[in-house]
Amino acid sequence: MRGTARLADTPPVHSLEMRLPDDVPFAIGSFDEIGRYSRAAFPHRHTFYEIVHVTRGTGTHVVDLARWELRPPHLGVIVPGQVHHWEDTRDLDGHVVLFTPDFLVGQSGDRDLLRRVGARPWHCLDPAAHARTGRLLAELSEEYRHGDPGFATVLRSLLHVLLVRMARLGDRPPELADGVYGGGVYGAGAGGAGGGEVGAGRHAVAEEFARLLAGTGPDVLGSVRECADRLGVTPGYLTEALRAAVGRTPGSLLREARTREAQRLLARTDLSVRQIAARTGFDDPAYFCRFFRRETGMSPGGFRKHHDRRAPSIEAGPGPA
């Protein structure tokens, strides 16, 4: 894992270093083996998925505005774009799994698995589930360490099994997990109305829109028309594709993405409201304040006061793990 800060006073973005010579975007190890960033006490983002199996330790895991006190064993996931960190941890131990979406996607249903797992990101495991998870992660770790011929295929298969089991832990049916979560489009729908090439084409556009949200800051997302132009489709087709795939409009998803990013910056940084407005795509701070109140029911100042957990000098770098 490598840290790269993109904007001053905002959470750094960490990317996944590839394993050479095969360039496999996957890694697994203990918290110590993965390194200090795996239990960083400063807010940061990922461009990849992270699964944590916490087997020991105390403290708190914070993802965006949600906080989970550690009472191991736990199994959790952080999806690309989310801001997370660890607070007051002691004796933290377990497995950490890192992978990019493209590493997994390929098997039937993989995208649905990522949606379902992202909708329920934290689980307290019973003894049986804890044991099963430990055995599976041990297999993943052994395969990764040895790197025998075909190991990438085995890693994908074992990771697929892990995600299937994580999805089973959730009580919430996948069709209710709507919205934009961590920068990806997660929602109802099974791939588009109409079937055949038309349905497949709409689903592909919806997936491209999800990647656009995940990989582009809200300040440069622009309007629905600008997003459609970047995807090479008309605004009407983009709207049809998203309604068919996830039951949402591009406008609502863009508003949700901007609102979530504004919440992250208000809660996690010392940026002024004017600066946050600019970084979420608003030229007029007053309009941003009206937008934020309409979407959340609170003013930016009120939200910050209620959720203030800012980390001054975030980009001065992390302290000792």
* 193 shares a domain with 153: no
Q: How do 45-46 and 13-15 pair as beta strands? A: parallel
In the chain, the number of structural domains is 2
Q: What is the CATH classification number for the domain harbouring 72?
A: 2.60.120.280
Mean pLDDT of 290-298: 93
Query: What is the reported pLDDT for 36?
Result: 84
Same domain as 230, residue 169: no
72-82 pLDDT, tens per residue?
A: 999 999 988 88
Do 216 and 253 sit in the same domain of this protein?
yes
pLDDT tops 60 at residue 206: yes
152 and 221 within one domain:
no
Residue 84 sits in the same domain as residue 203: no
Task: Please tell me the distance from the alpha carbon of residue 247 to that of residue 270, in angstroms, as a whole number.
Answer: 36
- The 3-state DSSP class for residue 4 equals strand
Q: Residues 149, 248: one domain? A: no
**The domain boundary residue, chosen from 122, 149, 173:** 173
Residues 169 and 198 in one domain: no
Whether 296 and 153 map to the same domain: the answer is: no
Same domain, 152 and 79: yes
Q: Which of 138, 173, 208 is the last residue of a domain?
A: 173
- Residue 253: give its domain's CATH number: 1.10.10.60
Domain boundary among 121, 151, 173: 173
Domain that holds residue 135: 2-173
Same domain membership, residue 162 and residue 183: no
* pLDDT per position as a tens digit, 260-272: 889 888 887 888 9
Instruction: Say yes or no: 217 and 302 in one domain.
Output: yes
- Residue 3's beta-bridge partner residues? 14
Alpha helices in 170-311 (DSSP H): 196-215, 224-231, 235-246, 250-268, 273-279, 285-296, 300-307
Rounded Cα–Cα distance for residues 23 and 26 (Å): 9
- Check residue 209 and give its pLDDT: 84
pLDDT per residue as tens digits for the range 30-45: 999 998 889 999 888 8
Give yes or no for residue 195 having a pLDDT over 80.
no
Find tokens 């708190």 and name the residue: 60
Backbone dihedral angles phi then psi of residue 61, each to the nearest 5 degrees: -105, 130
113 with 130, same domain: the answer is yes
